[in-house]
Amino acid sequence: MTKELTKNNTFNLVYKREYQDSEDYDFFPIYYTIFRNIPIKFLNKFNSDVFKRKVKSFCDNNFNDTATNATGHSEVEILTGDEYYRTYADEFGADIVDNDNSYFNDYGQLWNTRQFFKYDFAPKLTKSLDAQTYKNKLMREKGLYAN
pLDDT computed for residue 132 by the predictor? 66
What's the whole-model pTM score? 0.82
CA distance 127 to 69: 34
pLDDT value at 146 more than 60: no
CA 28 to chain centre: 15
pLDDT computed for residue 147 by the predictor? 45
pLDDT computed for residue 2 by the predictor? 59
Residues 56-59: contacts with CB within 8 Å, 24+ apart? 56/15, 59/15, 59/32, 59/34, 59/115, 59/116
